[in-house]
Structure 1
Amino acid sequence: MLRFEKYVRPETPREAYELLQENRLATVIGGMMWLRLADRTVPLGIDLSRCGLDTIEETDDAWRIGAMVTLGQLERHERFAASTCGIFTEAVRDVVGTQFRNLATVGGSVWARMGFSDVVTAFLALDAEVELEGAGVMPIIPFTERGARNDLLTHVIVRKHRYQAAFASVRNAATDFSSLNAAAACWQGSWHVTVGARPKKATLLTGGERIPLRRDFSPAELDAVCELAEGLDYGSDLRGTAEWRRQVAPALIRRAVAAAAAKPCAEKEA
């Protein structure tokens, strides 16, 4: 059973951040879908539910997704879905069940950087950043790779582009965790392809500082990306072996790229 010696509900992200700095053993509380399974005593629990981080805000050039936005909100937000070609609807619709998605938060998924996360795989394929109380704004890729110790995640920012994007996964059952997943998004003239649930955390394969894959790629160029996917570091668990993942990844990438390429480009102003 999870126990808290002290439980607080700050009114602002800054107040929550200051409490976290004063109490390095404190635990930040989001949707509690995984945290509640722990069997330990926490000196201080910091509940973010009153910090105003539960909305999806649209600006002229971006979407700001609060850390306390649930996966259900992400799944059902029509304007955001139109702006991102529905990639998050595809990514979260099979996550456990409706009740779970209505409680699990975007912040919890992104901060934890769990290997099986479908949400992180989708975010990595887009032009996304994380906003931290403390460290400020940083690209999501280095955050996913290294984390941000003792900072407080407040928002995920998705920059607007004329995306073509899609998500694909393989699961042993409809509501099980992904055995392997992939996302593909084309923006600013190049494809950004990610692979996750390896079962290690998701990684960007093409785009950004990785190898380029131009919008109008040749079959040989896509073959090269698939060969690169075969060389990723895979592991084995109850949902699949490393060798199985190595064999399936290229096909899953091709599926995601083909699905994204078949969609019309999203309007920058959704």
Structure 2
Amino acid sequence: MITVKNYIKPDTLEAAYELNQKRANRIIGGMMWLRMGKGNILTAIDLSGLLSGEITETDTDFHIGSMCTLRQLETHPGLAKSFGSVWKECTRHIVGVQFRNGATVGGSIFGRYGFSDILTAFLVFDTKVKLYKKGIIPLSEFITMDRDRDILEEIIVAKDGRRAVYLSERRSQTDFPVLTCAASCYEGIVLVSIGARPMRATVTETTLDEMEHIADAFDYGSNMRGSREYRKHLAEVLLCRAKKALEEGNV
């Protein structure tokens, strides 16, 4: 259980940023993961009045506001038309519809959780994040940065026509994943992302011919859901399935 002493809904992002510099303060979004933790929060900073919860489509990009819910990501017709079923696949196992109606995309990306299906999927696209202070940077760079107290405003995904496949292995339908896998192919270049290793997802570049052998490029660890050896074996299996789906256009 968490305990919150003060609640503030700032008028500007600058005011929110200044409040967030105190370690005892926390930004709250959907609070679906945060509320399941433990600890004391001096001031909860509500950004729902400052950040967008919409998905906006332009000629070149999708702009996904940080307050956009996982359910919106799952059901958005524009995303499905441009990228296929990957967004439905990476969200459908996350607890249930009620949970996905509250959990936010911004929280999933900024949290950089090891178990994140969402982060695994976004990494195989031309994805950038817009931070209040640091500006726009590639997602692949963002995940390697030290955690700080910046504010994530939106996620930007290029509309380059690529299709992607998302796969995961779970012990039960709505459990945390044992391993996650995403892959996309664009102009002969394949991006492969493996997550829940149990570390956070990471991405590497390969080709379709070499894709099923790329499992060795990732590190794996052991926890209560599976051993290092089991995770590596799963990665090899999921990569073979992803390669087949990309080759057959079954995405």
- Whether the 8 Å contact between 1:12 and 1:52 is mirrored in structure 2 is no
Kept in 1, the 8 Å contact 2:70–2:100? The answer is yes
Instruction: Give the structure with the higher percent strand.
Output: 2
Counterpart in the other structure of 1:253: 239
Instruction: Write the distance in 1 (CA, Å) between the matches of 2:137 and 2:187.
Output: 20
Aligned ranges for residues 1-270 of structure 1 at < 5 Å? 1-21=1-21, 23-206=22-205, 212-213=206-207, 217-218=208-209, 221-223=210-212, 226=213, 228-263=214-249
Give me the whole-angstrom Cα distance separating, in 1, the residues matched to 2:6 and 2:237. 49
Q: Quick check: 1:164–1:261 contact (8 Å CA) kept in 2? A: no
Give 3-state SS (helix, strand or coil) of 2:169's partner: strand
228-237 or 65-74: bigger deviation: 228-237
CA contact (8 A) 1:61 1:160 kept: yes
Give 5+ residue unaligned stretches, structure 2: none
Q: Distance in 2 between matches of 1:261 and 1:144?
A: 29
> Given the superposition, is the C-alpha separation of residues 13 and 256 from structure 1 closer, same or farther in structure 2, using an over 3 Å criterion?
farther
Task: Tell me, in whole angstroms, the C-alpha distance in 2 between the residues paired with 1:118 and 1:147.
Answer: 21
CA distance in structure 2 between the aligned counterparts of 1:79 and 1:6, rounded to whole angstroms: 39
Work out the CA distance in 1 between the residues paired with 2:153 and 2:138: 14
Instruction: Check conservation: 1:129, 1:140, Cα contact below 8 A.
Output: yes
Counterpart amino acid of 1:126?
A: F
**Counterpart residue identity of residue 169, structure 2:** V
Letter in 2 for 1:56: I
Number of equivalenced pairs: 251
With over 3 angstroms needed to count, the CA separation of the structure-2 counterparts of 1:134 and 1:62, relative to structure 1, is same
Offset of 1:95 from its aligned partner?
A: 0.9
Give the match for residue 209 of structure 1.
none
Question: Shift of the alpha carbon at 1:10?
Answer: 2.2
Matched to 2:226, the amino acid is: G
Other structure's SS at 1:6 match: strand
Q: Distance in 2 between matches of 1:71 and 1:37?
A: 18
One-letter amino acid of the counterpart of residue 62, structure 1: D
User: One-letter code of the match for 1:186?
Assistant: C
The one-letter amino acid of 1:189's match is: G
CA contact (8 A) 2:24 2:41 kept: yes
1:199-249 deviation line (CA, Å, top 9, x unaligned) = 11101122xxxxx42xxx43xx234xx2x4135221112211111011111
Shift of 1:260: 3.0
